[in-house]
Chain A
Amino acid sequence: MNELLMVVVGMAIVTYLPRLTPLVILRDKKLPPFLGTFLQFVPYAVLAALIFPGILSSTGETSTAAAGALAAFFLAWMRLNIMLVVMGGIAGAYLGTLLF
């Protein structure tokens, strides 16, 4: 097996393991309530950390990214459909490109 192929297979394995292990191990286990509560909060904490500050460098220009982020935030706050929020965010960033 050539070296590059080995690298990719290695990458695949170390990517799959963290995805798989909890799904198989936590099965049938009664979690202590504290851990259950903790895991309930995880999605929100992850989303928050994924969004900020990463979003500011998502378009290559902080100002256009901020324009798109604000547009998306506003639309999401109005509880618009997810696709509209996404398109509004892209449009916001694109308008930002034209303005700044």
Chain B
Amino acid sequence: MQKEKARASIDTCGISAYQPFWRGIKASIPIAVGYIPIAITFGLVARSSGIPDYIALLMSFIVFAGASQFVGVNLIALSTNPWEIILTTFILNLRHFLMTASLSLRIDVSLSKTWRFLLAFGVTDETFSVASMQKDQLLSPWFILGLNMLAFTAWNAGTWAGIFLAAGLPSALQASMGIALYTMFIALLVPALKVSRPIFLVVLISVAINSALAWIPFSQELSTGWRIIVSTITAALAGSILFPRGIGGSEDE
């Protein structure tokens, strides 16, 4: 499957940057819709926990990672030791290691280091999910850039809004919007379940392990980040042992 890469060194910035960039922006709209209420909440939480506004704004600007930022603000407010905060953030974000490793297979080998440094910054659970569920085997860097940029803009705009505007939304609606990003994940995942039996089984295994880790008393001690890492590695490992031919193992695409 990855052999295709050899002949695939087309369109890095050649043909047209404009078109894939816009496709990226468009694909990012559901992410932006999901990010804004969360970022507003982040702004509100940060403000109400008493940390300086510029710290919260800077966090959205240079950290750009939802869960870590909430945990970060929480730990700062509890005046936790700085190193402990940084370590927790690191553990929470180790899962991105798996994601960018997977993403690297979908990027032209000849893509420059500068591009890689740029694209890496915008990898989140959401941008990664949307990017990797694209049909093309090889992703245009412009597409990923557009995807990441709108997500980043929405996240930062939401943070500003949360800090400087008071909470306007009725709380029931605000709570209902908490489900937005999850439903986006569902929209990305479910169609794949229907076409590939290996994917179906890997998903089942991952859900089973993650639920077990979340509900069994002892493993609850693990942070969410670690639970996702353990579930992902185990399920993907089981998948590659059971189906050495990959996601198309039982049916070819």
> Is the C-beta of B187 less than 8 angstroms from some C-beta in chain A?
yes
Question: Which chain A residues in 49-82 approach chain B with CB under 8 Å?
Answer: 49-55, 58-61, 64-65, 68-69, 72-73, 75-77, 79-80, 82
Q: Is the CB of A15 within 8 A of B65?
A: yes
Chain A CB within 8 A of B216 CB: no
Among A48, A80, A88, contact of B231 (Cβ-Cβ < 8 Å): A48
Contact of A89 among B94, B186, B194, B202 (CB under 8 A): B186
B183 CB, min distance to chain A CBs, angstroms: 3
Q: Decide if B97 is an interface residue (CB 8 Å cutoff).
A: yes
Number of A-B contacts (CB under 8 A): 298
Chain B residues with Cβ under 8 A from A26's Cβ? 101, 104-105
Closest CB in chain B relative to A7 CB, distance in Å: 5
A61 touches B76 (CB 8 A): no
Which chain B positions have C-beta within 8 A of A82? 30, 184, 187-188
Q: Say whether A48 contacts B207, CB under 8 Å.
A: yes
Given contacts A47-B188, A72-B183, A89-B186, contact A20 B175 (CB under 8 A): no
Cα distance, A76 to B133, chains bound together (Å) = 14
Instruction: Sort chain B's interface into a size bin.
Output: 35 or more
Whether a CB of chain A sits under 8 angstroms from the CB of B45 is: no
Contact, CB under 8 Å: B187 / A38: no
Of A9, A38, A97, the most chain B CB neighbours within 10 A belong to A38
Interface size class of A (residues with CB under 8 A): 35 or more
A79 CB contacts on chain B under 8 angstroms? 191
Q: Mark A25-51, 1 if CB is under 8 A from B, else 0.
A: 011100101101111111111111111
Cα of A46 to Cα of B104 in the assembled complex, Å: 16
CB–CB A59/B176 < 8 A: yes
Name A41's contact: one of B99, B117, B179, B202 (CB within 8 Å). B202
State whether A40 touches B246 (Cβ < 8 A).
Answer: yes
Contact between chains at B178 and A59 (CB < 8 Å): yes
A82 to B71: give the CA distance in the assembly, Å.
29
Q: Which residues of the partner chain B approach A23 to less than 8 Å between Cβ atoms?
A: 100, 103-104, 107, 116, 119-120
User: Of B62, B176, B214, which one neighbours A97 at CB under 8 angstroms?
Assistant: B176
Whether B8 sits at the interface, judged by CB under 8 Å, is no
| A interface residue numbers (CB < 8 A to B) | 3-12, 14-24, 26-28, 31, 33-34, 36-55, 58-61, 64-65, 68-69, 72-73, 75-77, 79-80, 82-83, 85-86, 88-90, 93-94, 96-98
